[in-house]
Amino acid sequence: MRESPPLGAKSGRRKAASALRKTATTLLMLVRVTGLFQLILGILFWSGSATSLIPLHITVGILFVLALLGLAVLALRTAGGLATASIVWGVVVAVLGFTQTGLVPGAAHWVIQVLHLLVGIAAIGLGETLGGRLRRAAQS
Ligand code: HEM
């Protein structure tokens, strides 16, 4: 017959799960808030306004990527493949963001702009999935 774990170990595990849940929730909220902010600013840039806020967009973008990477690192044990893909994707978001103004200049630059938008939306989706999985894992 298997012995049940001592009470101390059980409450330790519960505390760790609660800490994981709180951290995952905070990072997920950060992904949501910064992601939405990026989308709104980006759409404004697209319409030719608020371009003086590009440095703010870049700073918030870094925060967004860090929150996604944080979720991915936390999920490495529970969702290894998706977590690794999210780390790679986070790097793609940052590299594309930092280089995009110089990529494909001229009439076809809109392709890069659409790509930047789609890559960002996919990153928000990855953050949502990772956050959901982490919170479910911490509950069970
Ligand atoms: C490290 C992350 C990011 C960096 C460094 C970055 C950088 C930039 C820059 C420099 C621009 C202006 C480009 C131009 O005027 O030609 C821009 C525009 C834009 N960004 Fe970001 N961005 C980041 C993340 C995101 C994310 C996560 C989203 C969406 C979820 C997003 C959505 C947009 C949109 C829609 C535009 C307007 C269209 C465009 O110019 O591509 N960005 N971004």
DSSP annotation string for 20-60:
HHHHHHHHHHHHHHHHHHHHHHHHHHHTT--GGGHHHHHHH
Q: What is the pTM of this model?
A: 0.90
Please tell me the residue having the least CA distance from ligand 1 atom 6: 97
* Ordered per-residue pLDDT tens for the chain, 140 residues: 556 667 677 788 888 889 999 999 999 999 999 999 999 999 999 999 999 999 999 999 999 999 999 999 999 999 999 999 999 999 999 999 999 999 999 999 999 999 999 999 999 999 999 999 999 998 87
Measured from the CA of 45, which atom of ligand 1 is nearest? 37
Please tell me the residue having the least CA distance from ligand 1 atom 18: 42
Question: Where exactly are the structural domains of the chain?
Answer: 20-139
Please tell me the residue having the least CA distance from ligand 1 atom 43: 97
